[in-house]
Amino acid sequence: MKVKFQFNSRSSGQNVPEAISIAKKLGAQLEKKFYLFEFDSPDDPHLQKLYQLVGNLKGSVITLDDGEPVNASQFFQAADCQDKLLCKGVCKHVHIGYYPIDQFATSSLLDTEDGIYKTSDVNIIRHLTDFLEPITETRFKFNKDLFSQIAVERTLLERRFCDKYSLDHLKEEIQKLPDEIELVEREEVEFGYGSEEEFESPFKPSEYIASCEIDTQMSTKDLIHCAQILSLMNRSPDLFHIHNTGVMICAFPEYNTIFLLKLHLLEEKFEGEDDQEEEGEQELSVEIIKKEEEWYTIRNPIFEMYFQLYEDTDPSLEEKINFLRNMKA
């Protein structure tokens, strides 16, 4: 398979100079302002590197076997999928709102009765507008056949490049979705256990990594592994504390993995005047996830976080937990 890649050499992207250096080294063609490359495989390491540097820029385009050009990000999302570890053939690029299709299908069952999904989330209605047929002002029929058709059309590249993708599994997951969706008041779908103030919110790693970026100095293997961990972290409902250790753990039996995390809150470093707090908030606008030894880390004036994913049969798990237990801020 021939894979052609082009990027705009006059783009203002910060990584463009490095991409131009690679282009000159490989003898790429320069037509007007675009550098043009041709590779024999999507697995070529130079192509992978170029994608990391300039793949998300507007002028970056992939062409396959002299066919129609496709968006570079969409191509690599399929050919170098970072969610492949987690998908079990049901492509996580198919979303309902912000949720992958399989996650939404599972979670919606809790609030579905007689095929009717009751939700107070107006955004769900907005995201599904094209597939909903009004029954009343607050109740809608979900056209699953149309949704399935569009989902298949949007995953053509996944069908071609992902060896785990299963069209049958995807269609089966779509059929698990509710037949109807009803928009209700929030109180109708929440448990009546008292006010929110009576309960402490579970620890959500995603709250700490929302504005993070992965260190560009990581190897491609570490970049992909870190992205897989972050993806899995975002799907975790919460983490469990190991008593008197400060270590948090979450098991994912379906993937035979164990997630370990330790968070140091450096409270003494952000107690002070308002201007100091504002300065701290400004510094936290973008955090970099780095690799230190075997741990992925995030450090700033407010907290330090260490995390890693292991096979649940790893004989060194006890050693890893003890390492985190004894780690001091």
- 30 lies in the same domain as 95: no
From the number of C-beta atoms within 10 Å of its C-beta (0-12, 13-18, 19+), residue 104 rates as buried
Structure tokens at 76: 């690599």
Handedness of CA 185, 188, 99, 147 (dihedral sign): negative
Residues 6+ apart with CB under 8 A from 103: 235
Per-residue pLDDT of the chain (329 residues; tens, 9 = 90+): 788 999 999 888 888 999 999 999 999 999 989 999 999 888 788 988 888 888 878 788 888 886 778 877 778 778 777 777 677 788 888 888 767 888 788 777 778 889 999 988 887 888 888 899 999 989 999 999 999 999 998 888 888 888 888 999 899 989 989 999 998 886 555 444 333 333 344 556 666 666 688 888 888 888 888 888 887 776 655 678 887 778 888 887 767 788 899 988 775 544 444 444 444 444 444 688 999 888 999 888 778 889 999 888 788 888 888 888 888 76
- 159 lies in the same domain as 224: no
* Domain housing 278: 205-326
Cα gap 209→233, rounded to integer Å? 10
Place of tokens 């779509």: 174
Number of domains in the chain: 3
- The pLDDT score that the predictor gives to residue 198 is 36
Instruction: Give Cα 42 distance to the centre of its chain.
Output: 22
Domain end, chosen from 79, 108, 140, is at 79
- 185 lies in the same domain as 109: yes
Cα gap 211→204, rounded to integer Å? 14
- The pLDDT score that the predictor gives to residue 94 is 85
| Count of other CB atoms within 10 angstroms of residue 52 | 19
Classify 265 as helix, strand or coil. Answer: strand
The DSSP H or E segment spanning 250 is strand 247-252
- 193 lies in the same domain as 303: no
Query: pTM of the entire structure?
Result: 0.51
- 191 lies in the same domain as 287: no
- 103 lies in the same domain as 149: yes
Domain end, chosen from 48, 79, 110, is at 79
Cα gap 146→132, rounded to integer Å? 10
Closest C-alpha among 58, 64, 56 to residue 39: 64
Residue 36's DSSP bridge partners are: 6, 29
- 92 lies in the same domain as 176: yes
| Count of other CB atoms within 10 angstroms of residue 278 | 10
Are 180 and 117 in contact, with CB atoms under 8 Å apart? yes
- The pLDDT score that the predictor gives to residue 263 is 84
- 70 lies in the same domain as 103: no
Domain end, chosen from 79, 94, 118, is at 79
- 212 lies in the same domain as 320: yes
Residue 95's DSSP bridge partners are: 100
- The pLDDT score that the predictor gives to residue 102 is 82
- 118 lies in the same domain as 188: yes
- 134 lies in the same domain as 25: no
- The pLDDT score that the predictor gives to residue 204 is 63
Cα gap 194→113, rounded to integer Å? 24
- 120 lies in the same domain as 233: no
Rg of the chain on CA atoms, in Å: 23
